[in-house]
Amino acid sequence: MRYPNRQKQRKCIIVTTMQHLQRQCGLLLHPTSLPSNLGIGSLGDEAMAFIDLLKQAKVTLWQILPLGPTGYGDSPYAARSTFAGNELLIDLKTLAYEGFLEIGDVLVHPSFPRNRIDYSMVRSFKEPLLKKASDAFLALADSKHKEAYASFCKENAWWLDDYALYQVLCSEYNDSRWNSMWPKDLTLRKPAALKKATDTHKMEIERVKVQQYFFFTQYKAVKDYANANGVSIIGDIPIFVAPDSVDAWTNTRLLKMDKDGMQTASSGVPPDAFSSDGQLWGNPVYNWKEHEKENFAWWIKRIEQTLKLCDIIRIDHFRGFAAYWEVPQGETTAVKGTWVPAPGEKLMAALKQALGDQIPLIAEDLGVITEDVEQLRDSNNLPGMKILQFAFNLENGKLDTTNAYLPHNCQYNSVIYTGTHDNNTTQGWYNELDGVTKDKVRRYLEAPDDQVLWQMIRVLMMSASQYAILPMQDLLGLGSEGRMNVPSTCGQNNWSWQLHSLDIDMWRIDRLRGLIEIYGRIGA
């Protein structure tokens, strides 16, 4: 990894300090992780209460993960749609208040696990109730609701119609692998087959649309409440779409797929010090020539739609806009892949022309970062990411003081994290370090073992980075039991961490607020 010159960075920090640029603090918590006695977090009272907590701590940013409906593995980064919302986030209590469920439907529920989401159990409980609420809405909704629903369907028909049919077909054939398990005519989207399926499943399709209406209506209420209380939401976009998604099914021309809808190449990352085989992600890669022909219309829609849900967008694997690791289909590892250039500059120019020069994006620029990636990021004035846990990789037992992730090297135009959803919690990370590295961490922070976590948070706040963000687990001081995800695994615990309660020790809120105030991260 290339690290910028330390002297140059310090010079930049002096300039930005003189300009009195605003700095903010954020917490990272996906809505699924909000506390709930119904098995999974939702867009109801708990979301509003979390925003109240942020306001109390003077935190002005709430970072979430992608909001799309998840499939196998329940990863938010492998959603069945890049435009739809995750139906499991719909708040059942709100539907009961509105008269589309009985209060008993919400009060009588299974005994769900504490601190971890059992997605299978949640689906078994929640999906029948969402179906019941959808049917009640279609039968009982008043004229105001029906007009709003009709307007929603009309405005979103360009993605909603395909998504609703896709979800119904996934249920019909008990499989989302549209290119290998569905009838050929549906795989190839033959008009007659699509019309027949649509006519046959009208009621089921309508239910999917109603549930999307529920999701977006509830989410809008949450976002409006956040913004009204001085909290901006940082959303997230995975650079690639899932192979078993409506995006792949309806946009084969924009992906490297053959005439039968089968991938000819997959995405991944090359072998490195952590994996001799690299990582084979399996996502289809883009046919960028086709995107250019359409002036990147699909990407423009994608960014535009996401900006309706959040105030700032983090683009995962941003380096793939400069070049991405392409692996021929059929390979079982990523070893035989190659770097393939991508038209990032043309894409960014098209986005600016359509959406304006100041698109609020964050570039996830972790991993193998080359000069062309840095040029693409910096020429578009996008903040990159700095991970504090990555700052203490020793070289021959010595701390590299020029490491770009060390707080004293961070520039203003960056986002600094203790760790992300893919990292261990900071306490878990520190507990697993070897003795030599622990000593360097303690010396850098001038802290004993029991104060390392809070000193990490303190130097995070003190850095020059525009945004300083810590996962909720770090505020709570959790160890490895609070980890959200282990990359390149499909473990049962991935994406399942859940906060038990928002009744958090007041000293934690007070201490965080004190750091925000003393280091000037109070926002505008």
Active site residues: 316, 364, 422
Q: Give the separation between CA 313 and CA 63, rounded to whole angstroms.
A: 9
Which residues, in sequence order, are CB contacts of 86 under 8 Å at separation 6+? 32, 67, 68, 69, 70, 76, 79, 215
E-assigned strands of 29-144?
Answer: 61-63
Convert 393-432 into a string of H (helix), E (strand) and C (coil): CCECCECCCCCCCCHHHCCCCEEEECCCCCCCCHHHHHHC
Residue type, 453: L
CB atoms within 10 A of CB 391: 23
Q: Which amino acid is at 165?
A: L
End-to-end CA distance of the chain: 34
Whether 322 contacts 304, CB under 8 Å: no
CA distance 47 to 42: 7
Is residue 476 within 8 A of residue 35, CB to CB? The reply is no
Residue 338 CA to residue 352 CA, distance in Å, equals 30
As a whole number of Å, the CA-based R_g of the chain is 23
Check if the beta carbon of residue 268 is closer than 8 Å to that of residue 280: yes
- Scan for tokens 């360009």, then name that residue: 158
Q: Are 18 and 520 in contact (CB under 8 A)?
A: no
